[in-house]
Amino acid sequence: MSTTTVSAAGAKSTVKKDSVAEIIAASMVGTAIEFYDNYCYSIAAASYFGVIFFTDVAKSNPAIATLMAFVTFAVSFLARPFGSMLFGHFGDKLGRKKTLVVALMTMGISTFLVGVLPGYEQIGVWSVVILCLCRACQGVGLAGEWSGAALVATENAPADKRALYGSFPNLGAPIGFFCAYGINLLLTTHLSKAQMISFGWRIPFLMSAILVIIGLYVRERMSETPVFQQASAEKRTSKHPLTDLLPYWKQVLLGTVAMGITYTLFYILGTWSLSYGVSGLGFTQPQYLAMQMVSVFFFAAFIIVGCLQADRIGRKKVLIATTAVTLVFSFFAPALLQHDATRIMLFLCLGFVLMGGLFGPSGAYLPELFPMHVRYSGAGLSYNLAAIFGGAFAPSLATWLVSTYGVMSVGWYMAAMSAVALIALLLIKESKNMDYTK
């Protein structure tokens, strides 16, 4: 760990500042695990949970069983606002490091328990109750993860590279995606469908324990952010962060709506399209997983591209431009959803290019809407409310829309979310008092 001296008002306080490599590891590892956990659950919900946890329904109507499994997927999102308020309170009051360690443990234990949970045939309806409880606890832990990781990155960043540093936790998303889909691809290639339903689906959840142990090791070694260290030394931290956040309710609301399309795009591409591609278009699961794994490289690349542009011309301009292009993409995307590998790759790759451009700059943009003493609470609440608004019901809503109105309705759904996000971005007034060290 290197040591940096930062001038404070009236005095000098010496604060520890991690190296760039340590910042990358500490901010990226948790979000990689977060998205790994979420994608493992989304794959299982799309492919196996209908049969395992809604067995009786699946025997008569597999589509309804899958829809019910997608509803359990939403439980995590509904728990997130509570988690963001809980971890935001302690993150702004006690510091980023301690809060992130607890968030990672909560997330990891919950995911592991899903992997050992008996199915409906063993314990009946209690299997669904416990699954939802684990999913809710997972959501509470997830809620504290991204916002804290974003602050670890941006509160260590030079002013002219804050968006680039903010890409570090966001790059955890494609890493988690690639690991989750890669493990599931290996399993579905070497195990039969019956073996996957019997035991194979559990393996990715159990393997998350390895990632959590690595994450805890990295998090325990990291330093508190220089911004929080300095504020704590000067007694500028908040004793009641949630109360102090109330004057910033407009930033929370508009930040939520602005980021909603990010989550909608996420789970249309990653979760719903997998289910539709296999059951509706006739691809095998390994085929569709392989195409998603290739397309995720575009996601990672354009997180970095979006952040570099955000540092050069501004976060808001990049987000407005990308959201507008997403609105246009929404109108022709459904036409690409056919049993044609070239068209599906075009759908996935273009979608993930836009996803990268939206998600990347948000790592700096949302925290910058709030001053230091409520930054964890404000950014976390916006991010996690956006998860409900844009992502919680995206797979189940898309499934229902397609079954009722046809595949073109998915495009209209994405277009509507893009339009409201664009309006919110235009209404947001960026903060002038960001309280970052220089």
pLDDT per residue over 288-328, tens digit each?
Answer: 989 998 999 999 999 999 999 999 999 999 999 999 999 99
Residues contacting residue 236 through CB under 8 Å, at least 6 positions apart: 372, 373, 435
Q: Which residue has the higher pLDDT, 319 or 45?
A: 319
pLDDT of amino acid 435: 64
In-domain check, residue 75 = yes
Q: Is residue 104 part of a domain?
A: yes
- Give the chain's mean pLDDT: 88
Residue 38's domain comprises: 18-221+229-427
pLDDT of 56 > 60? The answer is yes
The tens digit of pLDDT for each residue in 75-110 reads 888 888 888 889 888 888 888 888 888 888 888 899
> Considering the domain boundaries, does residue 7 fall inside one?
no
6 domain-assigned: no
**Percentage, residues of the chain above pLDDT 70:** 94
Question: Quick check: 117 pLDDT over 50?
Answer: yes
Is residue 241 within 8 Å of 134, Cβ to Cβ? no
Does residue 403 carry a pLDDT above 70?
A: yes
Q: Is the pLDDT of residue 5 over 80?
A: no
Phi-psi region of 321 (alpha: psi -120 to 50; beta: other; left: phi over 0): alpha
The answer to whether residue 10 scores a pLDDT higher than 80 is no
Question: Taking residues 321-347, what's their average pLDDT?
Answer: 96
Structural domain contains residue 2: no
**Amino acid symbol at 277:** G
User: How confident is the model over 363-383, as a mean pLDDT?
Assistant: 91
- The long-range contacts involving 353-356, CB below 8 angstroms and separated by at least 24 positions, are 353/298, 353/299, 353/302, 354/265, 354/302, 354/322, 354/325, 354/326, 354/329, 355/262, 355/265, 355/266, 355/269, 355/299, 355/302, 356/298, 356/299, 356/300, 356/301, 356/302, 356/303, 356/304, 356/305, 356/306
- The per-residue pLDDT for 245 is 93
- Residue 60, in any domain of the structure: yes
Over the stretch 380-394, which tens digit does the pLDDT of each residue have? 999 989 988 998 889
Residue 2 has pLDDT above 50, yes or no: no
| pLDDT value at 63 more than 70 | yes
Q: Tell me the mean pLDDT in the region 24-33.
A: 86
Does the residue 11 lie in any domain?
A: no
CATH of the domain at 311: 1.20.1250.20
pLDDT at 437: 52
Provide the number of structural domains found in the chain.
1
